[in-house]
Structure 1
Amino acid sequence: MKRNLCFFLLFFSLFNGLALGDWNILNQKGKNNKLGISLKNYCESWRINVELNNIRGFDVVPEECVEYIGKYMTSTQYKVDLERALEECTLFVSTNFVLKGDGKDAWIFDIDDTLLSTVPYYKQHSFGGEKLNMTCLERWMKTSKAPSVAYTLDLYNEIKGRGIKIFLISSRGELLRDATIDNLVNVGYHGWTGLILRGLEDAGKNVQSYKAEQRKRLKDDGYRIWGIVGDQWSSFEGAPSARRTFKLPNSLYYVA
């Protein structure tokens, strides 16, 4: 009797664990799914919650959403979302502050999927559906063939034209400096004040800590950071920050 009870409890525990581990919103179709939730609904909800920073630290896009995310990142809607976010940047720049005229007004841009698009790379690698291979990605970056992210060049030139010093702070490594400069110049970016890439001393630091440290150095040098544009929350989090931050859409990957 005791042996049978132990077997039953073990079986129930395993079954329950599997059921919980396999649960997602799609499994509710045909059960208690009164909302009639579709695959598109589920994947759109997943994408939005990535942008809201509710879903964090994922290694890959959920398998059932890879096709949806790929379609979004190559769609007109993605470009419209970019344009809307960057319009807010332009509005802020044109209406919310007056330059001091001492050369210490600054703006920060991330690079990947902010100025340069990695979408062509991810198109070849399941749109985030496979785990990132940094060696493979960096080999692609060294070709300097990344296109400009839609509309960011216009904003970049608008900010530069107002006399604001532009700093590019990227989690790319120093070994990619020449390739990064070539790529930026090839697609039209010129005249930045500083291009900050990760050196050996930054090994082991997460992106949030590394970027916060770089902002602190700028602050210590007397710069007023008016804005930051990036596609990852780790480009903004941590002190010091900026007067305004602007998050561009990107649900291909998550960088902490």
Structure 2
Amino acid sequence: MVLAVAAALDQRRLSLLVFVSTVFLISAPLSAASAPWTFWPPAPARGDEGCLSWRVMVEANNAKNWRTVPAPCIPYVYNYMSPVWGQYARDVASAVDQMLAYAGTDTAADNGLDAWVLDVDDTCLSNLPYYQANHFGGVGHRGERSVEFKSAMRRRLEEEEGYRIRGNVGDQWSDLQGPSTGDRVFKVPNPMYFVP
């Protein structure tokens, strides 16, 4: 009987050891990339190139008419956009939360003419694989003036077709500026390029 109890205790200890070891081995490689306490931004490989400040200036529309990601900031943009760190996805999700909260407080008219304008290219569809292959817009991307075109299309929706733009979502300030922007605009991040 004593031998059976000792064997049962050893079996439980062995099971516990296997369980704890398995949990540790499975979670250890993931913890650095997916733990909620992982800090952003990752430590720069070299000195601080000011890339976080550059991205904030871009998103706030304080940096005007830039065309490409500065060469020292390409690794920073890569890390920001990377699914490993997930900061870009969290920033977009936060913007979506705000959109949903706003849409939930808005009552639609019965005429079916309430509209949301969505910048479809990479606001709704992810171009991440393309930009990863092309150094995140760091080389060779040239923007075109689009504020006038986008404003004219929104104005046509309102004035000629009778729509009321309730929300306007875009990753470029040119999506959100000019006449007929709608009742509320929502900017989602895009540190890869600027379209004037």
TM-score normalised over the length of structure 1: 0.55
1:254 aligns with 2:173: no
String of CA shifts for 1:202-236, please: whole Å, max 9, x gaps: xxx82110000000111112111000111000001
**What is the aligned counterpart of 1:67 among 67, 75, 81?**
75
Root mean square deviation, CA, Å? 1.7
Report the equivalent of 1:244.
184
String of CA shifts for 1:116-144, please: whole Å, max 9, x gaps: 1111111111112111279xxxxxxxxxx
**What is the aligned counterpart of 2:124 among 115, 124, 128?**
115
* Aligned mates of 2:53, 2:124 — CA distance in 1: 26
* Aligned mates of 1:50, 1:127 — CA distance in 2: 14
Is the 2:67–2:142 Cα contact (8 Å) retained in structure 1?
no
* Aligned mates of 2:142, 2:180 — CA distance in 1: 31
Q: How does 1:188-199 map to 2 (within 5 A)?
A: none
Is the 1:236–1:245 Cα contact (8 Å) retained in structure 2?
yes
Secondary structure of 1:89 counterpart: helix
Secondary structure of 1:251 counterpart: coil
**What is the aligned counterpart of 1:45 among 53, 68, 82?**
53
* Aligned mates of 1:225, 1:55 — CA distance in 2: 28
More strand by share: 1
1:93 aligns with 2:103: yes
String of CA shifts for 1:89-113, please: whole Å, max 9, x gaps: 0000001x21111011111100122
Structure whose alpha-carbon radius of gyration is higher: 2
* Aligned mates of 1:40, 1:250 — CA distance in 2: 21
Quote how far apart the aligned CAs of 1:40 are.
Answer: 4.3
Q: How does 1:73-152 map to 2 (within 5 A)?
A: 73-74=81-82, 75-95=85-105, 97-132=106-141
Is the 2:49–2:73 Cα contact (8 Å) retained in structure 1?
no
Quote how far apart the aligned CAs of 1:246 are.
Answer: 0.4
Secondary structure of 1:113 counterpart: helix
Q: Check 1:233–1:126 CA distance in 2 against 1; reply closer, same or farther (3 A cut).
A: same
Q: How does 1:138-217 map to 2 (within 5 A)?
A: 206-217=145-156
Consecutive unaligned residues of structure 1, counting only runs of 5 or more, are: 1-37, 135-204
Q: Check 1:133–1:239 CA distance in 2 against 1; reply closer, same or farther (3 A cut).
A: closer
Report the equivalent of 1:224.
164
Is the 1:40–1:68 Cα contact (8 Å) retained in structure 2?
no
Quote how far apart the aligned CAs of 1:70 are.
Answer: 1.0
Aligned length: 148
Consecutive unaligned residues of structure 2, counting only runs of 5 or more, are: 1-45
* Aligned mates of 1:50, 1:113 — CA distance in 2: 17
Report the equivalent of 2:9.
none
Is the 1:207–1:234 Cα contact (8 Å) retained in structure 2?
yes
TM-score normalised over the length of structure 2: 0.71
* Aligned mates of 2:182, 2:53 — CA distance in 1: 29
* Aligned mates of 2:118, 2:70 — CA distance in 1: 29
